[in-house]
Amino acid sequence: MNFSDAIYLVVRKAENCALRSDDTKSLEACEVVKQFISHLPNSFENDQTPNMQKLGEYTDFYDDEEKMKDFQKLSKDEFLASYSYLVEEEYNLTRMKEKENG
């Protein structure tokens, strides 16, 4: 079992307990942790720095004003090198959303 799986298991158990006791505060906390889990790397090998590989769905960053300034100025390669925690799929989703919104 890897670290991400372990956290997910613990969150699911906490979520089940919170549901049984109608504990909305704990349910909200579980949602926050589940969002965090989606940004964990696949593994922590040799104590290397996590590579920020997302485990969940990719999203655009169209509403992030700071990133969009660089998005307009830099080439795709330059942008992805500057924002190493973002992946090409996120860049492409942002480009598509930009085209949709003209």
- Counting the structural domains of the chain, the total is 2
Tally of helices (H runs) and strands (E runs) in the chain: 5, 0
Question: pTM of this prediction?
Answer: 0.47
Q: Which residue has the higher pLDDT, 36 or 97?
A: 97
Are 8 and 50 members of one domain? yes
Are 50 and 72 members of one domain? no
The answer to whether residues 30 and 21 touch, using CB atoms and an 8 Å cutoff, is: no
Are 7 and 32 members of one domain? yes
Report how far residue 97's alpha carbon sits from residue 102's, in angstroms, rounded to the nearest whole number: 9
DSSP label at 54?
-
Residue 36 is predicted with a pLDDT of 80
Instruction: Give the pLDDT band of residue 48 (cuts 50, 70, 90).
Output: very low
Are 82 and 45 members of one domain? no
Are 84 and 41 members of one domain? no
Mean predicted confidence (pLDDT) in 63-92: 92
pLDDT > 80? residue 46: no
Range among 17-21, 64-68, 85-89 rated most confident: 64-68
82 is in which domain, residue-wise?
Answer: 65-100
